[in-house]
Structure 1
Amino acid sequence: MTTLQAPLDEPQTGEGRRKASALTGGLSAAILTRAAKDAFVKLDPRKLTGNPVIFATWIVALLSTVSAVAALANHQAAGFAIQVAAWLWATVLFANLAESVAEGRGKAAADSLRATRVTTNAKLIIDDKTGTIIPTAAHKLVPGEVILVEAGDVIPTDGEIIEGMASVNEAAITGESAPVIRESGGDRSAVTGGTTVVSDWIKVRVTASPGGTFLDRMIAMVEGADRRKTPNEIALAVLLAGLTLIFLIAVVTLLGLGRFSGVALDPLVLGALFITLIPTTIGGLLSAVGIAGMDRLMKHNVLATSGRAVEAAGDVDTLLLDKTGTITFGNRMATEVIAAPGVRPDAALRAAVSASLADETPEGRSIVELGRNQGIVIEAPEGATSIAFSATTRQSGLDAGGMSWRKGAVDAVYRSLALDPKQVPAEVTAAVDRIARSGGTPLAVSENGVLVGVIHLKDVVKPNVKERFADLRRMGLRTVMITGDNPVTAAAIASEAGVDDFLAEATPEDKLRLIREEQGRGRLVAMCGDGANDAPALAQADVGVAMQTGAQAAREAGNMVDLDSDPTKVIEIVEVGKQMLITRGALTTFSIANDVAKYFAIIPAMFVVALPALGALNVMRLHSPQSAILSAVIFNALVIVALIPLALKGVKYRAIGAGKLLSRNLTVYGLGGLIAPFVGIKLIDLIVSGLGLA
């Protein structure tokens, strides 16, 4: 097993960091050169059978080439046949080029990852009691073994931290040069092979089998070698095949029309006419649109396991978001301690600080900091026993010298003190209610079995979140906030953030049940998560976004991985998915309108001599039937090239309703598709006839 190591450059953030990431894969000269070579390799008919439109173009190009060679062998004029054959081959090459350019970004990124791999040894722990270790090649590690990773060491493979805490540089994977803290327990225990421990040490239990590390999967996903067609792509491919068959029948019937009207139609002309009428534009760009959608996700540092996942993101109806870290900043801070009646404020604050001395969570540290800011500095007594938080007691604290301090969920503290809610002083009840209604989290504090006060933990809603949710609502998405808070607190945060609904006091079973209920109503659901308890919901959701820093189970369950571990990224993922669907729809609209226009532009020019009545439809006044066909073939090839940038970049996303979006597509791409062939073919006809090419 080989792992990835990359040197640290200057700290980068935002757009600069994304550009520095190996996943960005810009459109360089090297990528274009490689794509051009791949375009010729894809001329193999076995590689084209999955695209009926381009495969039909390949067949006609081959027949046209045979016709040109036969004309030359018989010493006949072959200029027209050669030109038609050349432009038909160009059409196939341009379609291959569009797909190859889209694939080229992923291949370049995968090559970049491979180039920075190094072989490393691991410190395999064979006796935990004595600390005995033996150097072991990374590729020989198997799941379940425990390794020691110290400052300066490269983490040799994927695993879970079982002991210790360390600062880890993950620039090689995420592109972010700022080290992050990884520690045993919780949802920050997963480590990735190829990252580097900057300080301290950790013991890691191996979770990846040889060849199955996150890096190996990342390279496979980036390359897109196993990219399968999405359901919409398959449906569109069937539609294009049907249209191809329809136009084949229509062109064949022209033989009878030609005989009836006294026009001798050359099979070469009919073949070229057939290619100009079938939807070659969208046929040539269809794969590129899907691959480019995955590439746009890569630019957001998100890896999708398949194009199917990206497409599903574009069709999502319901978006489930965790409150903490997604809608709010997540680090709840203590802002005040409200004393119970008969308790001095400084005594209540001192009790809260004492209960938090052994609490290393951000909330616990903020309580200690609040006391320090008000002049209360307490050191944990020798021999003190820390009481860790548990899901059963829902409180934590400290015992020392016959004294005890506890803080935790209000109902849990009341229960531990055997207090009936009716026995709680009205001032305390009012304080708890006020904190909850303001969107904060109340924690009750007790000292020696007596209720002494309430701590106010405040969680801040991220800026611009409400506007983002309003955009999603205009797109027809329903947003649901998931939180473990009580219903009153959840309602306050939901109102401030502008979500459509919320699920309070949520358990893993509650999340799973909610997703199934939404899917039972025919909706597609997206959610993000990072903990092992999120794995069932991530697996059930249509779009499951796992955090790269999260638990291994979550990463295995999701069909996308966010390398930045930013839960708000799910909003960008939905937008990228919708942009891919919008782009495909726009290009399909343009292509079909394009073909209709070409039909009415070319047919009158071919038959106007034999059927003068068609002169009324011959608005383009093309030079001759041959120049009309050649101009249409040239336009057919060049329009693919002209639309490659749009297919790769995507149609600009706008948060508008389906009705407005349809109207816009019909106006811009439908009307544009009708007008473009008339203008383009006429200009090419003037050039072709002026140069005497037809």
Structure 2
Amino acid sequence: MTHTYHIKGMTCSGCENKVQTDLAKTKNITHVKVSKENSEAIIEMSKHVELSVLQESLGGKDSKYQISLPNSNPKGEEKSSCCTTNSKSHNPIHQKQNHPAGKYYCPMHCEGDKVYDKAGDCPVCGMDLVQQPTLVQNTQYTCPMHPEVVQDKPGSCPKCGMDLVPMEPTESEEDITYQKLWHKMKIALLFSIPVFVITMSDMLPNNPLYKLMDLQYWNWIQFILTIPVVFYACWMFFERAWKSIVNWNLNMFTLIGIGTGVAFVFSIIGLLFPFVFPDEFKTSEGTVHLYFEATAVVLTLVLLGQLLEAKAHSRTSGAIKELLKLAPTEATLVIDGEEKVISIHDINKGDIIRVKPGEKIPVDGIITKGNSTIDESMITGEPIPVDKKTADKVSSGTINGTKSFLMLAEKVGSETLLSQIVQMVSDASRSRAPIQNLVDKISKYFVPIVVFISVITFFVWWIFGPEPKLVYGFINAIAVLIIACPCALGLATPMSVMVGVGKGAKSGVLIKNAEVLEKMDKIDVLITDKTGTLTEGKPSVEKIVVKDVDENIVLGKIASLNQNSEHPLATAVVTFAKSKNTEFYKVDNFDSVTGKGVIGYIDNLKVSLGNKKLLEQEGIQDFSDIEQEVIAEQKLGKTVSYIAIDKKVVGYITITDAIKKSSLEAINELKRQGVQVIMLTGDNENTAKAVASELNLTDFKASCLPQDKLEYIKALQTKGKIVAMAGDGINDAPALAQSDIGIAMGTGTDAAIESAKITLVKGDLQGIVKAKNLSHAVMKNIKQNLFFAFIYNSVGVPVAAGVLFPFFGLLLSPMIAALAMSFSSVSVIVNALRLRTVKI
């Protein structure tokens, strides 16, 4: 009998192999075919096997891999993978993410989003797991002489004056890993160098070492010196190789383990039982050619590569670390006029905090007293300080200027903008770009092919090579195993993504995942909203015009209506009314009509404020006497709302919203790059036309309801266009979700940000230019890495096999092969690090 099951959790070819192997071991299962692409397993059974038994084979109910019947899903789970986003949107800034700080993950993302509680090796590729950064560590400090002295910040001991030291280690996990590898590297060098010298002395005339003792004794010394290298300094490579073979997740360490292991075992047998080998393997003195030096030096060079990789890898997360440093450790709490310095962990919502000149703002909040200039470059990427006054919002991690002010704490801990940015950057850094799928397919066959080439190399040399045939075949077969580097392929994409996402964050461009980063480079059309996207989003009332009624009463009524709305235009009306000390009224049955306006009842009279479509909906037709005035205002690029009381138009209110200075420059640059820029706005035809003309837009569409924007984007997509949508309002959320890439203004509403895949912290179209330039730079960098990795292996493996020997007499020793292999991964990381300096 044959059954098909759904498998959740497979994110790479290693996962696919593991699931297939585990299921095949289950009793009564005769054949298994697993497909990662289809997330399914086709299982042939001699006798029916219960679903619970299959799940146990995969590691139980807590396993990463969940098996279920077709068209079903394990309870509480959503179908997703590291390469795709869920259909359900997640707020990149305001919603807590699923990857807890302090956990460990594989830098090659072999298991997608899977994390571990402890440091160790990736079970798929064998690489060292990397720790997820934590935002603020609650480190306490103590005196080495007086341990009873404990405080939350560094300083000097009040008793003896000594510098206080952290109570807990403060080294990052990358530093700890590097230090461990460096210790092992010193041991490996200490024993490998003498082995290398002993072997290379053969090249000297009248070898002076042989005058001290015979070759067979020097062979024993090499053996003894190699033991610490194999069994201590580099034993982890053999452990990883063994795991890779047992789990059939073949990787770089499989090749290293087989190559050096064969050389080491061969040398031991040759040392102890030389009589079992043919004369081809023996020296003139009757001893067998041994390869202890190849074993020791190759392993040491591989360890060197791991050491350099650990150092380089710590730099790839530099952007996250720089963001972490922005968080201050303490703040000044104000209680009843008294100031007290406290840890930021002790700040609660509603606390009043004093921020002094030059200090970092500890949490998100609002200024309650005073004003200053704030350096927000670390959040927005803009170098010019921003003026802030009472009632303005400030964000954690930004730096105060030369004045002191009081602020109300509104968001603390993980809710702050800085915390969410760090979390989003960290999550995006660990996501997978679709181009990684190509690497997965290649990696699935890479190691078996290399092993096969190694075997073929041995036999070709044995059959066709010059004497000593067996020696040539043996050495070249080992060189083939050692020079091949699947890690260079595996690291090509994730390293570039990690550095690129960090670069974007420092420039105020928050990217949700690697798929978006790849796709942004391909967009054909940018759809943009007007208010808050092309314009400042800070509209103000220019004037109110009424006919035969009291202006203050009308202003009070429409302002009372708008108190219930979060639209920027509504805020402008309320602010204007308050500045006039206008009386507000009680509103009943309030209703916000999306894309049209607002209505409600005041003193049993229906009050309407909105555009012409709202009047038509309410059956109001008598407004011809002011229509021409309204059109004249609209042609100047202003937004005009009609005012109707008891189904009679009594006037209109004019609102202006200045176009952002950067909008025209950004639009021209996008058009230069071949992107059509189209404005879809709910505003009227005249206002939209004035804005489109001023900004030289490709096209525009006015009086758009949310559904209209959605349908317009769908129509473009059916023509094969890749569409990005930029917006900031609730009415933009459906279009943002439908577009290939939704771009939200960080100054906009939560609903818009939730629906977007890129968030521009500053809320500026220049951020879209940066995002596109960054996408292009990252994809170019990834392709460079992949090209290097492919070319390296395409050239390196044949050279190691000896293809140059018939023509040039050149052979590649295993030691040179190991050096080349080690530096291949490092070269990929170093190339990715260049993204830190690219100009976007």
| TM-score normalized with structure 2 length | 0.52
Q: Contact 2:525–2:723 (CA<8 Å) still a contact in 1? A: yes
Q: Offset at 1:296?
A: 1.6
Q: Structure 1 455/474 Cα, relative in aligned 2: closer, same or farther at 3 Å?
A: same
Aligned CA distance change for structure 1 residues 34 and 472 (closer, same or farther; 3 Å): farther
Corresponding residue for residue 725 of structure 2: 527
* Structure 1 residues 596 and 327, CA gap change in structure 2 (3 angstroms): same
Q: Report the Cα offset of residue 486 of structure 1.
A: 1.6
Cα distance 1:36–1:313, how it changes in 2: closer, same or farther (>3 A)?
Answer: farther
Which secondary structure state, in structure 2, belongs to the residue aligned with residue 484 of structure 1? coil
Matches within 5 A, 1:264-413: 264=469, 265-276=472-483, 281-332=488-539, 380=580, 391=592, 394=597, 409=611
What CA distance in whole angstroms lies between the structure 1 residues aligned with 2:310 and 2:266? 24
* Whole-angstrom CA distance in 2 between matches of 1:54 and 1:593: 17
1:583 counterpart (771, 781, 790): 781
Amino acid at match of 1:289: S
Q: Could you tell me how far apart the structure 2 residues matched to 1:556 and 1:406 are?
A: 30
The correspondence of residues 413-432 of structure 1 with structure 2, limited to 5 A, is: 420=622, 423-424=624-625, 429=628, 432=630
Query: What's the offset of the Cα at 1:588?
Result: 1.4
Q: Is the 8 A contact 2:679 2:697 kept in 1?
A: yes
CA change 1:171–1:368 in 2 (3 A) is: closer
C-alpha distance in 2 between matches for 1:378 and 1:651: 48
SS in 1 for 2:439: helix
Partner of 1:644: 829
Match of 2:296 among 71, 82, 88: 82
Amino acid at match of 1:575: N
Classify 1:191/1:36 alpha carbon distance in 2 versus 1 (closer, same or farther; 3 Å): closer
Structure 1, residues 631-679: CA drift from partner, whole Å, max 9, x if none? 4543443354345332123399899xxxxxxxxxxxxxxxxxxxxxxxx
| Aligned counterparts of 1:155 and 1:542: Cα–Cα separation in 2 | 36
- Residue 493 in 1 paired to residue 679 in 2? no
Call closer, same or farther: CA 1:155–1:257 in 2, change over 3 Å.
closer
Name the structure 2 match of 1:252: 455
Distance 1:457 1:632, change over 3 A: same
Query: Compared with structure 1, are the counterparts of its residues 138 and 524 closer, same or farther at alpha carbon in structure 2 (3 Å cutoff)?
Result: farther
Farther-moved stretch of structure 1 (92-101 vs 406-415): 406-415
Structure with the higher fraction of residues in helix conformation: 1
Structure 2, gaps ≥5 residues long: 1-95, 97-133, 139-170, 185-235, 273-286, 337-343
**Preserved contact between residue 281 and residue 639 of structure 1 (Cα < 8 Å):** yes
Q: Using the TM superposition, give the Cα deviation of residue 36 of structure 1 relative to its aligned residue in structure 2, in angstroms.
A: 3.2
Tell me how far apart the structure 1 counterparts of residues 180 and 491 of structure 2 sit (CA, whole Å).
15
CA contact (8 A) 1:157 1:192 kept: yes
487-496 vs 580-589, greater mean Cα deviation: 487-496
Residues in 1 aligned to 2:713 and 2:396: alpha-carbon distance in whole angstroms: 29
Quote the residue 1:242 is aligned against.
445
Read off the aligned partner of 1:489 and give its amino acid letter: T
Superposition pairs for residues 105-124 of structure 1, below 5 Å? Answer: 105-106=319-320, 108-109=321-322, 112=325, 116=329
Instruction: Name the aligned partner's letter for residue 644 of structure 1.
Output: I
How far is 1:502 from its partner? Answer: 3.5
| 1:232 paired residue number | 435
User: Displacement, 1:580?
Assistant: 1.8
The alignment's C-alpha RMSD in Å is: 6.3
Contact 1:120 1:138 in 2 (8 A): no
1:45 maps to: 240
Could you report, residue by residue, the CA deviation over 1:574-620 in whole angstroms, capped at 9, with x for unpaired residues? 33233222211122123323444446656666532xxxxxx2xx4xx
- Partners of 1:379 and 1:327 in 2: how far apart? 27
Shift in Å, 1:261: 1.4
Q: Could you give the per-residue CA deviations for residues 149-188 of structure 1, whole angstroms, max 9, x where no partner exists?
A: 55759999999x9xx99999897994898576898xxxx9
Contact in 1 for aligned 2:642/2:649 (Cα 8 Å) = yes
Contact residue 229 and residue 308 of structure 1 kept, 8 A: yes
Q: 1:310 to 1:650 in 2, by over 3 A?
A: same
State the alpha-carbon separation in 2 of the partners of residues 649 and 545 from structure 1. 26
Whole-angstrom distance in 2 between the partners of 1:523 and 1:39? 50
Asked whether the equivalents of residues 546 and 651 of structure 2 are also in contact (C-alpha less than 8 Å), the reply is: yes
Q: Which amino acid aligns with 1:299?
A: K
- The one-letter amino acid of 1:625's match is L
**Cα gap change, 1:455/1:577 in structure 2, threshold over 3 Å: closer, same or farther?**
same
SS state of the match for residue 86, structure 1? helix
User: Aligned partner of 1:641: which letter?
Assistant: V
Match of 1:688 in 2: none
Q: Which amino acid aligns with 2:835?
A: G
Inter-CA distance 77–337: structure 2 relative to 1 (3 Å threshold): closer
Cα offsets for 1:304-329 (capped at 9, x unmatched): 44434433434545433222233233
Corresponding position of 1:669: none
Structure 1 unaligned residues grouped into runs of 5+ = 7-28, 124-136, 142-146, 371-376, 609-614, 656-694
Equivalents in 2 of 1:571, 1:38: separation in Å? 43
- Distance in 2 between the 1:438 and 1:595 partners? 64
Distance 1:256 1:600, change over 3 A: closer
Q: Which residue of 2 aligns with 1:261?
A: 464
Mean Cα deviation higher: 384-393 or 221-230: 384-393
- Residues 312 and 479 (structure 1), Cα distance of their counterparts in 2 relative to 1, 3 Å cut: same
CA distance in 1, matches of 2:181, 2:712: 47
SS at match of 2:430: coil
1:507 aligns with 2:705: yes
Partner of 2:178 in structure 1? Answer: 36
Name 1:625's counterpart in structure 2.
811
Higher relative CO (CA 8 A, sep ≥ 6), structure 1 or 2?
1
Contact preservation (8 Å) 2:727, 2:736: yes
Structure 2 counterpart of 1:666:
none
User: 2:430 is aligned with what amino acid?
Assistant: R
Partner Cα separation in structure 2 for residue 96 and residue 158 of structure 1: 35
Equivalent-residue separation in structure 1 for 2:457 and 2:578 (angstroms):
95
User: Contact 1:294 / 1:304 at 8 angstroms: preserved in 2?
Assistant: yes
Q: Normalising by structure 1, what TM-score? A: 0.60
User: Is the partner of 2:779 in helix, strand or coil?
Assistant: helix
**Structure 1 equivalent of residue 316 of structure 2:** 102
Determine if contact 2:491/2:828 at 8 Å carries over to the other structure: no
Does structure 2 conserve the Cα–Cα contact (< 8 Å) formed by 1:445 and 1:452? yes
Name the SS of the counterpart of 1:287 in structure 2: helix
Q: What SS does the corresponding residue of 1:424 show, helix, strand or coil?
A: helix
Within 1, Cα distance between the matches of 2:637 and 2:751?
31
Cα distance, 1:485 vs structure 2: 1.0
- Are the equivalent residues in 1 in contact too, given 2:135–2:324 (CA < 8 A)? no
Give the alignment of 1:535-550 within 5 angstroms: 535-548=733-746, 550=748
CA contact (8 A) 2:484 2:821 kept: no
Counterpart secondary structure, 1:231: coil
Give the distance between the partners of 2:248 and 2:664, measured in 1 at CA. 44
Q: Do the aligned partners of residues 298 and 487 (structure 1) sit closer, same or farther apart at CA in structure 2, a change above 3 Å counting?
A: same
Could you list the per-position Cα deviations for residues 352-390 of structure 1 after superposition, in whole angstroms to 9, with x for gaps in the alignment? 9999999999979999999xxxxxx99958867699997
Q: Which amino acid aligns with 2:178?
A: A
- 1:54 and 1:284 in contact (8 A); partners too: no
Aligned to 2:819: 634
The 5-angstrom pairing of residues 36-185 of structure 1 reads 36-37=178-179, 45=240, 54-60=252-258, 62-63=260-261, 66=264, 70=268, 76=290, 78-95=292-309, 97-103=311-317, 105-106=319-320, 108-109=321-322, 112=325, 116=329, 148=350, 174=379, 178=386
Provide the identity percentage: 21
